[in-house]
């Protein structure tokens, strides 16, 4: 990495670290809770992004980019299919997420589909009394069509997505069309800067918007650092920091292994009680810490196969787990 690029990356990391400090925390945003389709911000689609503390707007590529920054779709070199499973807190899970990317020269097309169904809620009336005789069910999902293209000798990538969002909260149905736009700048091989604005074109009550900005770069050959500042339209800014270290290929025979860790600033959910702590508490008990692993092999049945896992600590609420499986051909 050249000196100007290294200076820019380190300066961005310092700013993100300062924003994440306790002294920089802000009061609850007055718009909190007013954004619709909040399920879209659970983090479906990419275990790698979750393991990096959601600091992915500048590092997005392949089918992972469909969720985080459509411009990253333009970095796709091969056709790619992906599946992801997200186990969220409080028995909430998203078992269906499928994505596909198809390069055509400098232009890459992509699409995804996500669906989640929840039931068995603790329903209550306006007075807070349980409604045991009601079967409450929620069915949510979205589908995306994206296009990205590279410019100026693959130093600039632009991406655009159109999404159809379906939200059904116990019979209260809403179908909305929104768009995403993203940019990735790669002034050198080892550093990139990203920007994305997501879910524009609808009212706040229909789908909450998110604006992301960040940077990513390799400080040494096998270590990449990333950062992101995300501003939801109905909450305060969130900061994500991530690092991934790729084990030297000399140690392996069949593939590539990457270890990941990160931090994301989250709303406080309370500390885990002393009685419920176990020997892994320093890792899984500290709210906002993220961990993950990625395994890739180019020799699996003649295809490139990758497996990614992420774990995110949510304090007293437990942990979030995500699995992603991708095939390149």
pLDDT tens, 266-310?
765 555 554 444 445 455 557 788 999 999 987 666 788 999 999
The CB density around residue 250, as the number of other CB atoms within 10 Å, is 6
Stretch 35-39: mean pLDDT, rounded?
A: 82
3-24+37-118+136-240 has CATH 3.10.20.30 classification: no
Q: Are 208 and 202 within 8 A, CB to CB?
A: no
CA dihedral 267, 272, 277, 282 (to 10 degrees): 40
The CB density around residue 162, as the number of other CB atoms within 10 Å, is 15
Phi, psi of 38 (to 5 degrees): -60, -20
C-alpha angle 267-269-275 in degrees, rounded to nearest 5: 150
326, β-bridge pairs: 82, 306
% pLDDT > 90, the chain: 53
Phi, psi of 76 (to 5 degrees): -70, 125
The CB density around residue 100, as the number of other CB atoms within 10 Å, is 15
Q: What was the pLDDT predicted at 298?
A: 76
Q: Are 283 and 262 within 8 A, CB to CB?
A: no
Tell me which residue of 15, 71, 81, 2 sits closest to 305, measured CA to CA.
81
The residue extents of the domains of the chain are 3-24+37-118+136-240
Q: What is the pLDDT of residues 188-244, one digit of tens each?
A: 889 999 999 999 999 988 999 999 999 999 988 889 999 999 999 988 899 999 999
Single pTM value for the model: 0.82
Between 168 and 270, the more confident residue is 168
Report CA 319 to chain centroid distance, whole Å: 16
Tokens 């609850």 belong to 28
């Amino acid at each position: 990495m050249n000196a100007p690029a290294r200076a820019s990356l380190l300066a961005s990391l310092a700013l993100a670290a300062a924003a994440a400090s306790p002294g920089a925390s802000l009061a609850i945003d007055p718009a909190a809770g007013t954004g619709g389709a909040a399920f879209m911000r659970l983090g479906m689609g990419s275990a790698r992004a979750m393991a990096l503390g959601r600091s992915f707007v500048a590092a997005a590529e392949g089918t992972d980019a469909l969720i985080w920054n459509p411009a990253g779709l333009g970095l796709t070199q091969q056709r790619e299919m992906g599946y992801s499973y997200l186990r969220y807190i409080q028995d909430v899970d998203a078992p269906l997420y499928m994505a596909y990317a198809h390069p055509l020269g400098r232009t890459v097309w992509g699409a995804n589909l996500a669906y989640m169904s929840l039931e068995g809620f603790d329903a209550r009336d306006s007075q807070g009394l349980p409604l045991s005789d009601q079967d409450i069910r929620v069915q949510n999902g979205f589908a995306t069509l994206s296009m990205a293209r590279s410019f100026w000798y693959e130093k600039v990538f632009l991406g655009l997505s159109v999404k159809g969002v379906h939200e059904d909260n116990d019979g209260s149905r809403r179908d909305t069309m929104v768009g995403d736009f993203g940019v990735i700048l790669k002034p050198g091989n080892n550093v990139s800067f990203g920007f994305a604005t997501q879910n524009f074109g609808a009212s706040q009550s229909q789908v909450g918007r998110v604006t992301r900005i960040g940077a990513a770069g390799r400080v040494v050959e096998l270590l990449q650092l990333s950062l992101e500042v995300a501003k939801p339209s109905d909450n305060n800014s969130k900061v994500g920091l991530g690092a991934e270290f790729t084990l030297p290929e000399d140690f392996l025979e069949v593939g590539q292994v990457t270890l990941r860790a990160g931090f994301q600033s989250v709303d406080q959910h309370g500390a885990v009680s002393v009685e419920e702590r176990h020997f892994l508490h320093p890792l899984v008990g500290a709210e906002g810490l993220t961990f993950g692993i990625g395994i890739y092999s180019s020799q699996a049945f003649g295809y490139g196969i990758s497996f990614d896992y992420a774990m995110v600590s949510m304090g007293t609420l437990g942990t979030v787990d995500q699995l992603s499986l991708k095939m390149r051909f």
